[in-house]
């Protein structure tokens, strides 16, 4: 077990040994997940998102809907700029 101290700004330092082992570098994105024990920190890499693959039964419908909404937003912006 490693320990760290919370700074005045609410920051914590991940010990160097753990940073090296997990490949954490400046700019690495993490998720802070609250649970019944407090919180945990998860790396937001490809592996994290792969855990969620296939949990929604939408078969690409969400992606299509998002792309359609973005297309409509661009059209509205184009109309406003004319």
d(CA 79, CA 22): 48
pLDDT at 15 over 80: yes
The model's pLDDT over 26-65, given as tens digits with 9 standing for 90+, comes to: 999 898 999 999 999 988 877 766 666 666 666 667 778 8
pLDDT, position 21: 94
pTM of the model: 0.52
In eight-state DSSP terms, residue 65 is H
Tokens matching residue 56: 């929604």
Contact indicator for 2, 18 with CB cutoff of 8 Å: yes
The model's pLDDT over 21-34, given as tens digits with 9 standing for 90+, comes to: 999 999 998 989 99
């Amino acid at each position: 077990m490693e320990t760290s101290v919370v700074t005045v700004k609410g920051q914590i330092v991940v010990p160097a040994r753990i940073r090296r082992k997990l490949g954490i570098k400046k700019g690495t994105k993490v998720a802070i997940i609250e649970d019944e024990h407090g919180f945990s920190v998860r790396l937001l890499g490809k592996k994290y998102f792969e855990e969620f693959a296939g949990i929604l039964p939408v078969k690409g419908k969400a992606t299509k809907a998002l792309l359609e909404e973005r297309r409509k937003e661009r059209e509205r912006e184009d109309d406003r700029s004319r």
